[in-house]
Amino acid sequence: MSTSSYSLHALGLERSRLNGMILAGVSYGVFFLLTIQALVALTQRPPHGGKIADHRLTLVFYIVITFILGTTSFAANAKYEEMIWIDLRNVPGGPLELIENEMVYPINVLAISSGHLQEWFMQALLVHRCSVIWNRQRYVMILVISLYIAMIAVSIFIQVEASKGTPFYNIGPELAYLCISVGFTVIYTVLVAHRLLVMRRNMKRVFAQYDSSTYDAVVIMIVESAAIYSIFAIIFIVAFALHYNSITTICFLSFGKLQGIAQLYIIIRVATGRAVTHEWSTRITAPTTMEFSGAVSYTTGESGDGGMAASERDTVHRYSISEKAAEADIV
């Protein structure tokens, strides 16, 4: 490689590292603000001094854990950025050497490991959501749990390779990990959106005047949040596969924070009453309330025809909107 081409390569990678860290700082700032908003929304006590629902406290635990892991990853990357440009700038090879062989330094192993652990928790939340929406149907659970286990297995292998000092750009399983992660998110989005749309269609068959706007809003919300992460991740995958190290570096530093933002977006909307929770039951229902932890109640109004009500209940049951009540957040 000629001196000029080497200089262009070096400058391009160095710029991408600096620009990637700036983008990571912006994404972490958004992640931080949304974390605070989510915690405030979840820890507000219900009216009349009621008790905070247990599943809200579980979400608080999830948010705190993912925030700690995301902050650890960001802080480690920020510290290494300081090492590149200040503490170790005179090492042989200069900043280029430090960027290409970053895994030689334990602080970067800490950054990638904490980022992967954060991913484990975030994907576990998707598994939970899918199980709630599909009432733990076996074939769906086998699919999503298999993908989740595969993601963890590949993640562990990557962390072992990183701890050996293997350059990040040369860790082959990283591409498989990214594909599984994105594939998991896309499959989750399709499964949940399909399920909700089928529920909406069945309810409209039962009730000609049924207002399906709640289902529409939830589906749109899920697709929007998945798109934020998936588009960015696809760019990351293509860049990594084609060895565009400059783009890979930019994407890598913000990857976990963007997925965290997408998850918090849904949690905040649910917690503030802009999405729906469910009690999918075999009762006649028409939406009258939206709450984070309350059961959604449907009523048909007053009617003296008990036989008609019983018939409609059988119809709702036949369309399998659900066979048992379960109080949990829909997303």
Number of structural domains the chain divides into: 1
* Beta-carbon count within 10 A of 152 CB: 18
DSSP, res 48:
G
Whether 48 has a pLDDT exceeding 90, the answer reads no
Written as one letter, the residue type at 186 is V
Per-residue model confidence (pLDDT) at position 49: 55
Q: How far is CA 214 from the centre of its chain?
A: 22
Query: Which CB contacts under 8 angstroms, 24+ apart, belong to 288-295?
Result: 290/214, 292/53, 292/56, 292/329, 293/53, 293/55, 293/56, 293/327, 293/329, 294/327, 295/325, 295/327
Whether 206 has a pLDDT exceeding 90, the answer reads no
- Give dist(CA 237, CA 206) in Å, integer: 45
Going by pLDDT thresholds of 50, 70 and 90, the confidence category of residue 307 is very low
Q: What is the pLDDT of residues 87-133, one digit of tens each?
A: 898 888 888 889 988 899 999 999 999 999 999 999 999 999 899 88
Q: What is the mean pLDDT of the chain?
A: 79
Going by pLDDT thresholds of 50, 70 and 90, the confidence category of residue 153 is very high
Q: Please say whether the beta carbons of 324 and 281 come within 8 A.
A: yes
Q: What SS3 state is found at 91? A: coil
- Give dist(CA 138, CA 141) in Å, integer: 5
Lowest model confidence (mean pLDDT) among 15-19, 77-81, 266-270, 292-296? 292-296
Mean pLDDT of 17-35: 94
**Comparing C-alpha atoms, which of 249, 250, 256, 252 is closest to residue 229?**
256
pTM of this structure: 0.78
Q: What is the pLDDT of residues 257-277, one digit of tens each?
A: 988 998 898 888 878 765 444
Give the CA-trace dihedral at 100, 105, 107, 112, to 10 degrees.
50
**Comparing C-alpha atoms, which of 221, 216, 324 is closest to residue 278?**
324
Question: In 87-132, at which residue ranges do the beta strands (DSSP E only) sit?
Answer: none
Compute the half-sphere exposure of residue 241: CA atoms within 13 Å on the CB side of its CA: 11
Q: Which residue has the higher pLDDT, 115 or 312?
A: 115
Domain range for 204: 3-329
Q: What SS3 state is found at 157? A: helix
The CATH number covering residue 240 comes to 1.20.1070
Per-residue model confidence (pLDDT) at position 46: 63
**Comparing C-alpha atoms, which of 221, 156, 143, 136 is closest to residue 187?**
143
Mean pLDDT of 68-82: 95
> Which two structure tokens, joined as six digits, stand for 227?
């798109």
Whether 302 has a pLDDT exceeding 50, the answer reads no
Percent of the chain surpassing pLDDT 90: 39
Per-residue model confidence (pLDDT) at position 4: 53
Whether 235 has a pLDDT exceeding 50, the answer reads yes
**Comparing C-alpha atoms, which of 328, 290, 294 is closest to residue 134?**
328
Written as one letter, the residue type at 218 is V
- Give dist(CA 126, CA 236) in Å, integer: 21
Q: Which residue has the higher pLDDT, 326 or 47?
A: 47
- Give dist(CA 285, CA 18) in Å, integer: 55
* The dihedral sign for the CA sequence 39, 40, 41, 44: positive
Per-residue model confidence (pLDDT) at position 54: 62
Q: Please say whether the beta carbons of 161 and 171 come within 8 A.
A: yes
Q: Please say whether the beta carbons of 284 and 312 come within 8 A.
A: yes
Going by pLDDT thresholds of 50, 70 and 90, the confidence category of residue 294 is very low
